[in-house]
């Protein structure tokens, strides 16, 4: 089995509208490419911040700008007009867990993907006004990032923990901490070990400046040792990105001894043989 669950039906720009991309024809394009590439389970996970109901959770200026679409319309579109699994990519917003739980209760998901993009008001993966790297030193950013990742796992809100070391996204284009990075991974491990979350292996990092799979092998090993299952995704934002770099991901998983991957149906997880 190969899966692709962390998938967006459109690019991240605001002018990629729901009207144009939440269509049966667009979903069919994704399904066709997935079938060609041997991906047996395909689902979508639009960003929570693109739905106006997300403003009940958080009113970050970036969310206010982007929260245009109707969440219920997205859910009924996926369920009624496509064969895709229904997911969402939701942010961990500390202190807003109850509000996020209320938002997530509106739909019957196959899975909820949890992401840490923001550390307070600044984002680790965004250029411009909200770029955390405009002022912070890498030791502090990496420490906080992994602390929050562990807290995100511990909330129990999420079935899958997305791109688990996203903080490395820029590679050498931003300050990097020196030495053995496991001291940061350790910050997340208590929360991850205490949770029931699946760890995403995402090939999206191969398309980013860092040029690596998320997470780093050492971090993935720690998660697997803690008993966490793995969910495989590409974070595609267009059909041609589906399954991107999967040979490399499968090699990584095999090298760590992962033989089965997580499959989701109405938030029930089972494990299927990888490959």
**Which stretches of the chain bind Zn ion, using CB under 5 A?**
89, 115, 235
- Please report how close the Cβ of residue 170 comes to Zn ion at its closest, in angstroms: 14
CA distance 249 to 228: 17
Question: By C-beta, is 47 or 154 nearer to Zn ion?
Answer: 47
Counted residue by residue, the chain has a size of 275
Helix residue ranges, H only, the chain: 18-21, 24-36, 61-66, 71-81, 97-104, 138-154, 182-194, 217-225, 246-256
- Please report how close the Cβ of residue 45 comes to Zn ion at its closest, in angstroms: 6
Instruction: Provide the angle, in degrees to the nearest 10, between the axes of the packed helices 182-194 and 217-225.
Output: 30
Q: Which two tokens stand for residue 258?
A: 């992962």
Q: Which two tokens stand for residue 213?
A: 């799979």
Q: Which two tokens stand for residue 225?
A: 């040792």
Q: Measure CA 274 to chain center.
A: 20
CA distance 211 to 193: 27
- Please report how close the Cβ of residue 97 comes to Zn ion at its closest, in angstroms: 18
Tokens 């041997």 correspond to 38
Select the residue whose beta carbon is closest to Zn ion and give its number: 115
- Please report how close the Cβ of residue 6 comes to Zn ion at its closest, in angstroms: 5
Question: By C-beta, is 82 or 234 nearer to Zn ion?
Answer: 234
Question: By C-beta, is 211 or 275 nearer to Zn ion?
Answer: 211
Question: By C-beta, is 238 or 271 nearer to Zn ion?
Answer: 238
CA distance 14 to 107: 23
Question: By C-beta, is 137 or 240 nearer to Zn ion?
Answer: 240
CA distance 49 to 65: 9
Question: By C-beta, is 166 or 253 nearer to Zn ion?
Answer: 166
- Please report how close the Cβ of residue 165 comes to Zn ion at its closest, in angstroms: 12
Question: By C-beta, is 10 or 154 nearer to Zn ion?
Answer: 10
- Report DSSP state, residue 205: G
- Please report how close the Cβ of residue 60 comes to Zn ion at its closest, in angstroms: 15
- Please report how close the Cβ of residue 115 comes to Zn ion at its closest, in angstroms: 4
Whether 104 contacts 90, CB under 8 Å: yes
């Amino acid at each position: 089995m190969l899966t692709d669950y962390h998938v967006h039906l459109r690019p991240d720009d605001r002018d990629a509208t729901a009207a144009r991309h939440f269509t049966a024809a667009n979903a069919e394009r994704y399904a066709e490419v997935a079938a060609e590439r041997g991906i047996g389970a395909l689902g979508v996970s639009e960003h929570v911040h693109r739905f106006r109901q997300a403003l009940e959770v958080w009113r970050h200026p970036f969310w206010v700008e982007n929260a245009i679409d109707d969440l219920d319309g997205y859910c009924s579109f996926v369920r009624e007009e496509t064969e895709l699994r229904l997911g969402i990519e939701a942010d961990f917003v500390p202190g807003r867990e109850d509000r996020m739980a209320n938002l997530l209760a509106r739909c019957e998901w196959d899975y909820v993907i949890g992401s840490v993009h923001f550390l307070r008001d600044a984002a680790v993966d965004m250029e411009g006004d909200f770029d955390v790297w405009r002022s912070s030193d890498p030791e502090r950013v990496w420490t906080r990032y992994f602390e929050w990742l562990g807290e995100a796992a511990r909330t129990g809100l999420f079935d899958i923990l997305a791109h688990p070391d996203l903080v490395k996204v820029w590679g050498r284009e931003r300050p990097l901490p020196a030495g053995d990075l496991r001291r940061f991974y350790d910050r997340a491990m208590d929360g991850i070990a205490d949770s029931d979350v699946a760890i995403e292996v995402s090939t999206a990092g191969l398309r980013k400046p860092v040029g690596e799979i998320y997470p780093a092998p050492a971090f993935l090993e720690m998660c697997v040792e803690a008993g966490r299952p793995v969910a495989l995704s590409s974070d595609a934002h267009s059909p041609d990105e589906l399954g991107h770099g999967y040979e490399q991901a499968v090699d990584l998983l095999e090298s760590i001894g992962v033989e089965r991957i997580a499959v989701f149906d109405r938030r029930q997880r089972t494990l299927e043989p990888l490959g």
